[in-house]
Structure 1
Amino acid sequence: MHKPSPIIRISSRIAKGVLLAGTLLYALLFLFGAYSGYIAPMRWTAPAFLGLFFPLLLAGWILISLFWLLTLDVRRLLLVGAVWLIALPQLLTFFPISRSTKVLGTEGEVLRVLSYNVSAFGFKPHSATQPNPILQYIRSSDADIVCLQEAMLNQNPEAGVVTKTLREYLASDYPYIACIQVGTGGSTLAILSKYPLSEVEQIPVPTHANGAIKAKVKLKGHELLLVNVHLESFHLKADDGANYIALAKQGEALQLKDALRAKLGPTFRYHNAQAVILHELIKAYNSPRVLVCGDFNDTPLSYTRRKIGDGLKDAFVARGNGFGFTFRNRPFIVRIDHILYGKAFRALSCEIDKTADESDHYPISAVLALDEAFYQD
């Protein structure tokens, strides 16, 4: 049997070494993206970018895993398997797999929560003969608490929803309504509740156009802290996405990096500061009766969601399935709307309603059971 020449053997070893080095390097990038939420963007923004583009990293790691699977190289497959195991907790945060899509254990007290970035109610007016579709959706949702973002209320009834019509149309379902304009760009956050609200006020977070509000909700004789957020936007447009894709196709890596850093870097730092303030607020409240809803403008793996959710649970991670995309403007299709809850609650279900297409966001809703901790002071 003819043996390969020394040159071929050396070349083969070099090729395998290069492939292994490339696999190790990519594995590090993949894991940095998966655990990017544990690194504050104020200190280092690179992991935040890796987290934002984690779907691309995941696709690449799947291809690398398939390559080593086809080669049947046991040692490399062990490496690949170890990386998958290390990343697994974050993968289940990014792509939850719930045991059931149905509401589990509805016996006892439950709280139905809806969060919806309504994008100025679709810029559609409301009248008795032609009700605004988003107002109709809210009314039919049967939610006990509704948190709205970008709930811009017009002065002209022909241009969109006005404060008076909103209150009149929803008053029978939601006797407690609070609307607060936040930031400098006129964005409005609203809370609609079947239960009494008190101490409704804006939370002082650094922001350009968005913000956050809080309220105390009187529920079953106990008080809970409700936080409704619309954190700083990346201000991304379809043209931005097309430009980034074009630069990537042209191999202009440096230009792409500079464009992304200039556009996204400041927002990552805004998010860092906002998340720390909200986390400290929740920590100071020192109660398991906490709900945080809204448009975080950041992904499930982000520092923003992890920091705000420190000590809380994510309803979609607990009871959702799949990617759960809530922002639907191509090419930026991501899950940036979240419902977080304290230990007084237990998620029974969480869904993204993709039939509600009047806004550029899909609404996210959750059914939460009131656990024993809810009734303990």
Structure 2
Amino acid sequence: MKRSTSIWDRVVFAINILIAFLLLFTGFTSYVPLRFFSAISVLSLVVPFLFAINVLFLLYWAAKMKRKFLLSFTAIVLGYFMFGPFYGFGGNNVHQEGVSSNIKIMSFNAWGFNKNGWIKQPGVGDSIVKFVKDQDPAILCVQEHSRERHRQLGQYKYKSETPNAVPRTTQAIFSKYPIVGEGSLDLPSTINNIIYADIAFGKDTLRVYNVHLQSFKIVPSRDNFSDGEKSERTYKKLVDTFSKQLEQAEILKNHLEKSPYVNIVCGDFNNTQFSNVYKIAKGDLQDTFLEEGKGFGRTYDLWKMPLRIDYILADPRFEVLSHQNFDERLSDHYPVMATVRLNSHQ
């Protein structure tokens, strides 16, 4: 009996070593911005699972009162420092609605306002418009926009959209403040798009980027990951998508570094905060969820797992006053909103 128990523990510990190694290895590769690492970067999609499995191993060895629990404990601690926090406890900042120095920003992948009828219920597009009006952000960034909807958003005097001449998915930036400049970044070999608008805010000018990075275009199903031939095609798609996302994140980063203004980045990165794609795009910007968010910050559901792939990133010169994730099921993504204050306006 003791011998069989010993063999079982050895097998469990061998698997434990593999899972702990994968977590730490994925953490290391998330800091490597080279595209030839994209094949390995796919692991960043399963980081929550790797953390969860390591917690189970920790509890298993702790219950058996064996020091082997230190392996997963160490992996979890080091992983936390590599990836940063991924659960928000909210902040204690109190701010007044309508204060002139505060800026409320919303980012929402609206899925074309459901113009293709993917959500099988009537009036989804109108519900999105009503939701935006009720929340009343001063700046609204919409990914996968529907151009005809701008007439229903009359509270915004100013807007910037993906140019009609560009064969890309449409992004839009709506603003209650004057837009004094705009542009579109050229992303090669894709229909995805990044636009930006320079917005006059008092004596300052803000540059707001609306980002929609490469989509995976994979329908989650058991066959795509269990069938041998389909699994191989799915994996190749994942690797190709990561490679394009890394290229696009670098283009965004280079443009950000040349910006003469205070920057805000909003959008759908189609990747998690555990990826090198996120780290490149974020740079030294503040992630408003990590500053003031609560819970897991879900913006997308994958097999009922809460993923955070939509972000609002703010220049360090902003004070992040609040961050909110919404549960409204009006798209395949969930909207996010943050309130910030530029320090020069305090």
Q: State the TM bucket, normalised to the shorter chain.
A: 0.7 to 0.9
Distance 1:41-1:259 versus aligned 2 partners, 3 A rule: farther
2:259 aligns with: 285
Cα distance 1:183–1:62, how it changes in 2: closer, same or farther (>3 A)? farther
- Residues 30 and 54, structure 1, Cα contact 8 Å, conserved in 2: yes
Residue 343 (structure 1) aligned with residue 316 (structure 2) = yes
- 1:44 match: 37
- Assess if the C-alpha contact under 8 Å between 1:183 and 1:207 holds in 2: no
Of all paired residues, the percent bearing the same amino acid is 28
1:272 aligns with 2:252: no
Aligned to 1:213: 195
CA distance in 2 between partners of 1:198 and 1:370 (Å)? 19
Counterpart residue identity of residue 148, structure 1: V
Tell me, in whole angstroms, the C-alpha distance in 1 between the residues paired with 2:100 and 2:135. Answer: 20
Distance 1:49 1:91, change over 3 A: same
Q: 2:57 aligns with which of 31, 54, 64?
A: 64
Match of 1:195 in 2: 177
Check the 8 A contact 1:182/1:212 in 2, yes or no: no
Give runs of aligned pairs for residues 299-314 of structure 1, distance below 5 A. 299-314=272-287
Cα distance 1:20–1:43, how it changes in 2: closer, same or farther (>3 A)? same
**Cα distance change, pair 229–273 in 1 and its aligned pair in 2 (3 A):** same
Instruction: Give the TM-score normalised by structure 2.
Output: 0.87
Aligned pairs, number: 339
- The reply to whether residue 242 of structure 1 matches residue 242 of structure 2 is no
Name the CA distance, whole Å, in 2 between partners of 1:52 and 1:131: 30
> Residues of 2 paired with 1:66 and 1:311: CA distance?
36
Return the alpha-carbon distance in structure 1 between the equivalents of residues 70 and 164 of structure 2.
52
Shift of 1:205: 1.9
Distance of aligned partners of 1:136 and 1:12 in 2 relative to their CA distance in 1, 3 Å threshold: closer
Measured against aligned partners, the alpha-carbon deviations of 1:147-196 in whole angstroms (never above 9, x if no partner) come to 0010023xxxxxxxx26xx23x323x211112215897641111110111
SS in 1 for 2:25: helix
1:1-377, aligned counterparts within 5 Å?
18-40=11-33, 42-73=35-66, 75-89=67-81, 92-100=84-92, 104-106=94-96, 109-123=101-115, 132-153=126-147, 162=148, 166-167=150-151, 169-171=152-154, 173-181=155-163, 186-237=168-219, 240-244=220-224, 247=226, 258-285=232-259, 287=261, 289-328=262-301, 330=303, 333-354=306-327, 356-372=328-344
CA distance in 1 between counterparts of 2:191 and 2:13 reads: 47
Q: What is the alpha-carbon distance in structure 2 between the residues aligned to residue 48 and residue 182 of structure 1?
A: 34
Give the 3-state SS of the residue equivalent to 2:106 in structure 1.
strand
Deviation at 1:25, TM superposition (A): 2.4
Unaligned runs of 5+ in 1: 154-161
Return the index of the structure with the highest Cα Rg.
Answer: 1
How far, CA to CA, are the matches of 1:82 and 1:304 in structure 2? 25
Worse-superposed segment, 262-271 or 35-44 = 35-44
Per the TM alignment, residue 37 of structure 1 is displaced from its structure 2 partner at its CA by: 2.5
Partner residue in 2 for 1:156? none
CA contact (8 A) 2:213 2:248 kept: yes
What residue in structure 2 maps to residue 158 of structure 1? none
Contact 1:329 1:360 in 2 (8 A): no
Q: Aligned letter for 1:211?
A: N
1 CA distance for matches of 2:70 and 2:211? 43
Gaps of 5+ in 2: 118-122
Looking at structure 2, the residues matched to 175 and 86 of structure 1 have their Cα atoms a distance apart, in angstroms, of: 48
Distance 2:57 2:204 in 1: 53
Deviates further, 13-22 or 113-122 = 13-22
> Is the 8 Å Cα contact of residues 124 and 132 (structure 1) preserved in structure 2?
no
Q: Considering only aligned residues, what root-mean-square deviation do their CA atoms show, in Å?
A: 3.0
Cα deviations by residue, 1:230-277 (Å, 9 ceiling, x for unpaired):
11100022xx423145x1xxxx6x657623322211110100100011
Query: 1:31/1:228 Cα in 2 relative to 1: closer, same or farther (>3 Å)?
Result: same
Equivalent pair of 2:218/2:234 in contact (CA under 8 Å):
no
Give 1:352 deviation, angstroms.
Answer: 1.2
AA aligned opposite 1:79: L
TM-score, normalized by length of structure 1? 0.80
Q: CA deviation at 1:370?
A: 1.8
Judged with a 3 Å threshold, the aligned counterparts in structure 2 of structure 1 residues 28 and 222 are, in CA distance, closer, same or farther, namely same
Q: Using the TM superposition, name which of 338-347 and 87-96 deviates more.
A: 87-96
- Looking at structure 2, the residues matched to 261 and 68 of structure 1 have their Cα atoms a distance apart, in angstroms, of 34
